[in-house]
Structure 1
Amino acid sequence: MTMKSVQTGAVGAIDVVDLERPAPGPNDVLLRVRACGICGTDATFLHMGGGPFGPGGQMTAVPLGHEAAGEIVDVGADVTGLKAGDHVVVNPQAAPSGIIGCGGALGGMREYLLIENAVVGESLALIPDSVPFEVAALNEPMAVALHSVNRSEARPTDKVVVFGAGPIGLGAAIWLKLRGVQHVVVADVIASRLETALAVGADAVIDSSHEDITARLTELHGQGANALGQPRPGTDIYIDAAGAPAVFNTTLASAKWHAKLVMVAVQKKSETDLAAMLRSELTLIASMGYPTEIFEVTPQLAEHSERFARLISHRVPFSNVADAYDLATTPGAAEKVIVTFDDDI
């Protein structure tokens, strides 16, 4: 029996191919994928036309998708704690054959996904049946967002600004408010994204396409100063979920003494004013992936599923998966695109 799977094709395009439906070994389960998100990593592989994983670094097709959620349909004889019909979310970094959807042998944007060495709490986690599959598919990116907030060590009394109202930035805003942080501002250049930021709990927003960020932060967070006593906004933590050089420049120009900058977005090349960092004794914190957070998020994702659902701008059926990738890779066209799989698969 065959199934359909999505992989990179020509530069900027996907291919939908037919593969044999896998059968689980004694330690595996077979997941019927019911929803899978599209990530910026997918777009990177699309723009490259694959990945340099062949012999001698030659470009090869890459199976796409690492934000999968679904229903177990077959369970290996030695697997415990799981049964057919269970709803689960996936840890794409736990696959023995390589990370799912980012250059490994398997991708999550397919009708059926083999979960190798299936262990609850390691390779997958149960999620209540009441949670829509498209919301469950947010588990992995929300783990990335939570790790950035954990790295910030934000306290309830802190005043925070998040740059970038994409899924990671909005997820960070949600986690900050669930953590009890006093005041969270979200900055972006797209008005509809700022509306979503307010809807998910941000205390204020800044449209950085025309507003003076430093002046607005001072208005919202009060007056602070850098190590030289120069006036600066009272913002304690800056989270960069945008990856634009302007974010670094704005932070360096605005940071008060002992402020923090958490870098979670993939950075573009830029020059950093190290003298400005010195004047504020700014702490730069890098945030990569989710060392422990992949399933820490799952209970709260379930508890606050309606809030997280607001991050999804487009739900596209798998029959139109090429349109979904076009949406996700067109700047400003979508916030979060989730591909859903029909009940009659």
Structure 2
Amino acid sequence: MKLVRTGAVDRIEVVEVERPVPGPADALVRIRACGICGTDATFLHMGGTPIDAAGNPLGDGRLRSLPLGHEPAGEVVEVGAEVTDLKVGDHVVVNPQGAPSGIIGCGGALGGMSEYLLIQDAVAGKSVAVLPDSVPFGVAALNEPMAVSRHCVNRSEAGPGDKVIVFGAGPIGLGAVIWLKLRGVQHVAVADVIASRLETALAVGADAVIDSSREDVPARLLELHGTGRNALGQPRPGTDIYIDAAGAAVVVNTALRTGKWGAKLVMVAVHSKPAPIDIGAMLRSEMTIVASQGYPTEIFEVTPEIAEHAERFAKLISHRIPFDTVERAFELTLTPGAAEKVVVTFD
């Protein structure tokens, strides 16, 4: 079978490897779609990973070629004799963190950007989740990033009466918008600098958008969310929750300087390098800063709702690229502004 792994810096390799043979407790999934995300791009920029499949540092500047793909969806084609809750033909999404050999596509021995994926110790609800056959595989492949978004929203503790601003209209930010609106949050605004992303934000349910490249974000938030006060009594937007899905220091500082008393900042984006932030501004609002990493419990919490709202989630996919031109899929991902969410499809 064919498998995609890291090659030279910013390049992938498509290699032929043996098709896995499932053991008694395993299952084999034929991959039908697999998304590409910023983590894949990070590994490509590095040219591999400095750890072995067990998570141990290689040392001496060495890098290991890494099987890619941690957003797979597919169809069960074989099950081991001990597997009782899965059957051939089931459509499934995968928990990348459920493999004993390491996180699938993120340092482990297995990668989901391949024609077949071995599911070790296959258990429905733990390593995979079954979803209705009616859900397109491309949409099913959004399960993992939407779990990231769901954890962010869970960490925000947003309720129906809250007013929220999401900075960054990439897949994670837009996923947060969908989850916020599905839980009945009163008003969700989205800020970004790319017009097409803002259009998508409105399409998936945002109440308002802000082009932060040309609009005054605090002024717009005052218009949208009304007036609140910080701890010193100074007027501030009535925004309750700020979500950083952009990964830029200016977003953090905007939230800190704009926040009313008791506002909350949830940080789900990866910041690639340290940057100065205005701690004094945090004191003036008594802002709570919450970090959101991964999906401790959400990986299959999201699956039924993705199935129920498949058409809405499908709007997040900007490009569907066949596996036989997978190099093009990664080129799009590595080119700033060329694509929003790329999903590779397998015939």
Q: With structure 2 as the length reference, what TM-score do the two structures score? A: 0.97
Is 2:92 aligned against 1:85?
no
The one of 56, 59, 62 aligned to 2:63: 59
Quote the residue 1:209 is aligned against: 213
Quote the residue 2:35 is aligned against: 37
Flag as ranges the 4+ runs of structure 1 deviating above 2 A: 54-57
Q: Which amino acid aligns with 1:19?
A: V
Q: Which amino acid aligns with 1:6?
A: V
Quote the residue 1:295 is aligned against: 300
Quote the residue 1:239 is aligned against: 243
Question: 2: distance between equivalents of 1:272 and 1:208?
Answer: 19
Write the mapping of 1:195-206 to structure 2, written as runs, cut at 5 A. Answer: 195-206=199-210
Q: Which amino acid aligns with 1:213?
A: V
Cα deviation 1:249-301 (Å, max 9, x = unaligned)? 11112100000000000014211211100000000000000000000000000
Cα deviation 1:32-73 (Å, max 9, x = unaligned)? 000000010000000000010253251110100000000000
SS of equivalent to 1:242: coil
Cα deviation 1:190-223 (Å, max 9, x = unaligned)? 0000000000000000000100000000000001
Quote the residue 2:55 is aligned against: none
Quote the residue 2:112 is aligned against: 108
The one of 323, 327, 335 aligned to 1:330: 335
Quote the residue 1:157 is aligned against: 161
Write the mapping of 1:1-345 to structure 2, written as runs, cut at 5 A. Answer: 3-54=1-52, 55-56=58-59, 58-268=62-272, 269-342=274-347
Q: Which amino acid aligns with 1:47?
A: H
Aligned-pair distance for 1:6? 0.2
Cα deviation 1:299-341 (Å, max 9, x = unaligned)? 0000000000000000000001000001011111111000000
Query: Higher mean Cα deviation, 31-40 or 48-57?
Result: 48-57
Question: 2: distance between equivalents of 1:215 and 1:245?
Answer: 19
Q: Which amino acid aligns with 1:270?
A: A
SS of equivalent to 1:162: strand
Question: 1: distance between equivalents of 2:239 and 2:336?
Answer: 29
Question: 2: distance between equivalents of 1:253 and 1:215?
Answer: 13
Q: With structure 1 as the length reference, what TM-score do the two structures score? A: 0.98
Query: Higher mean Cα deviation, 314-323 or 45-54?
Result: 45-54
Q: Which amino acid aligns with 1:207?
A: D
Q: Which amino acid aligns with 2:159?
A: R
SS of equivalent to 1:23: coil
Give the share of equivalent positions with the same residue, in percent.
75
RMSD value, Cα: 0.7
8 Å Cα contact 2:257/2:278 also seen in 1: no
